[in-house]
Chains A and B, each alone.
Chain A
Amino acid sequence: MKRMLIAVAALALAACSALDLSAVKNPFQTAPTPAFNVTAAGTLEPLGSCGHAIAAHVSANALVRNSAASKIRAGRMSKEDGLQVLQLTDQARRFLAQACAAGQDRLPKAAAVDSARALIAQANQITERAK
């Protein structure tokens, strides 16, 4: 179990690193993190009923939400921006849930995960801006 935790944490950190907007490149053009194990069929390896990449992105989504909440409480983020972060992360969450459900009917999950990644990056950009 500890090994699994470390593996998921590493993936989550990799997902967040990919969202690092201090980099010059456009986050929407960021290449998929190599840690995401995509099979030849375009599906992601399962972690129980949830893929590693999905778990990493859900964690990243939660991190952005918590970070925005902290900044709002510190008076460093406007309500408007906070609401936008909420909307974007809710959308990302829906895509991640779709990706999880896709495991059951073998639909490719990668597209849903990519959509979630873009939304999380956008929410992260708004959160990072509030400094």
Chain B
Amino acid sequence: MKVSEAKQMIEALQKAVEKAEAAGRDELLADDIFAVDDEARKNLVDALTQQRS
């Protein structure tokens, strides 16, 4: 794994943690984690949509 990929993953998890903290929780829930994947899916779909076939 590249360092840049590890950084991306840590950043993604950091976002999930911040989301939980913003909601006043001291616990990560499934929704926090899955939101990271939702964002990545949107990124992939956007890239595919923008790509010329």
- Chain A residues engaging chain B, CB cutoff 8 angstroms: 1, 4-5, 8-9, 12-13, 16-17, 20, 47-50, 54-55, 58-63, 65-70, 72-73, 79, 82-83, 85-86, 89-90, 93, 96-97, 100
Contacts and interface: CB of A to CB of B under 8 A. Distances in A.
Interface of B: 1, 5-6, 8-10, 12-14, 17, 20-21, 26-30, 33-34, 36-37, 39-41, 43-48, 50-51, 53
Interface of A, secondary structure class, is helix
Given A67-B5, A72-B51, A62 B12 contact: yes
B41 A65 contact: yes
Contacts of B48: 72, 79, 82-83, 86
Contact of B37 (A47, A62, A69): A62
Interface of B, secondary structure class, is helix
A49 B44 contact: no
A59 B12 contact: yes
Contact of A61 (B29, B40, B43): B40
Contact of B50 (A48, A50, A70, A73): A73
Contact of A66 (B8, B30, B53): B8
B14 to A, nearest CB: 7
A100 B9 contact: no
A101 to B, nearest CB: 9
A5 B28 CA distance: 9
Contacts of A54: 30, 33
B14 A5 contact: yes
Most buried by B among A12, A69, A70: A69
Contact of A48 (B10, B28, B34): B28
A10 B43 CA distance: 24
